[in-house]
Amino acid sequence: MYKTITAAAVSLFTVTMITTSCTSSAEKVKEKQEKVSEAQEDLTEAKKEYVLEVEEFKIENATKIAANEQGIMDYKTKLEKDKTATKEEFKNNIADLEKKNEDLRYKMNHYQASGEENWKTFKREFSHDLDALEKEFKNLTTSKKVNK
């Protein structure tokens, strides 16, 4: 009789443990699924912010590139009226700046979002190149006053 009671108690204990452990595993799975769902929502939101940042950067720099183009066109017009001997040299310098500006426009328009780390690198390098171009243009236009 003692063996029967002991066997029944052990069986009841085993069934209770299995049921309890299954329930907690199911709860754990549910919690993990909720965490995954939240992480996916966070990732989706981060991607939206990243895409918006890329678009804002493109718009901001398209304006700068357009301003460079306008400045180059204005300077070319003034240069056409110039009578000095260095006119050809300045024409060549303006042509170089025009090419660099067009290269930057192409680079910006054809950038494909490929991860936040790549974006940060692109953004830093592009901003550096654009700033350098603007400085070159200012230096050229201030060093050469066109004679009318």
Number of H helices and number of E strands within the chain? 3, 0
Dump pLDDT digits (tens) for 24-71: 667 777 887 788 788 778 777 777 788 888 888 888 888 888 888 888
Query: Between residues 2 and 111, which one has the greater pLDDT?
Result: 111
pTM: 0.61
Name the residue among 92, 103, 95, 113 with its Cα closest to residue 61: 103
| Domain regions of the chain by residue span | 37-143
Phi-psi region of 145 (alpha: psi -120 to 50; beta: other; left: phi over 0): beta
Residues 71-97: pLDDT tens digits? Answer: 888 888 877 777 666 777 788 888 898
The more confident residue out of 138 and 147 is: 138
Each residue of 96-110: pLDDT tens digit? 989 999 999 999 888
More confident site: 21 or 68: 68
Q: pLDDT band at residue 11, thresholds of 50, 70 and 90?
A: low
